[in-house]
Amino acid sequence: MTAEAIMTVAVLAGVAMLAGILLAAMRTRRARNRAYLSPDGYQEVCVTINGKYRPNTLEVRQGIPVRIRFLRQENNPCSERVVFSAFGIDRRLPAFRETLLEFVPSAAGTFLFTCQLGMYRGKLVVTPQRAKRGPTKSRSRGKADEG
């Protein structure tokens, strides 16, 4: 190999490595906010409370039970309660403890969750359930099912 070829290979390898690192970082960032599915069928997400909600945007799917693990790392009275008014939830969160909040996000959309006086704010993004489709789609060919 010429020196030039070796150089090209090295640059390409470097670029590929950087791309890999970037992709991994993006995936991690996305996974942080989006709930993961627990073995018992809940969409789980953890929220740390210490001066604010972190993360403050939670992504869940409509219609699947949600379990939010609130870890309140402070005793500031401000954060003693968490309120999801759209879902009729108002829960006390003991200081320095983990509190599990479970509910079914019955409606899709973006909903605010706050402390009792609204100083701490977070967003619950509920993505709509996919529209149910008949089995015709996979069975039929071309435009046969449109007529």
Q: Write out the E strands in the chain.
A: 36-37, 43-49, 53-54, 57-61, 66-72, 81-84, 89-92, 97-103, 109-115, 121-127
> How many residues bind to Cu ion according to rule CB under 5 A?
4
Which segment (55-63, 92-100, 102-110, 114-122) binds Cu ion by CB under 5 A? Answer: 114-122
Among residues 32, 26, 38, which one has the least CA distance to residue 53?
32
Which residues does residue 59 pair with via DSSP β-bridges, in sequence order?
Answer: 34, 125
- Fill in the per-residue mask, 61 to 100: x = in contact with Cu ion (CB under 5 A), - = not in contact: -----------------x----------------------
- Supply the minimum distance, in Å, between the C-beta of residue 115 and Cu ion: 3
- Supply the minimum distance, in Å, between the C-beta of residue 52 and Cu ion: 10
Whether 45 contacts 54, CB under 8 Å: no
Among residues 5, 58, 14, which one has the least CA distance to residue 36?
58
- Supply the minimum distance, in Å, between the C-beta of residue 28 and Cu ion: 30
Among 30, 119, 128, 129, interactor with Cu ion by CB under 5 A: 119
Chain residues binding Cu ion by CB under 5 A are: 78, 115, 117, 119
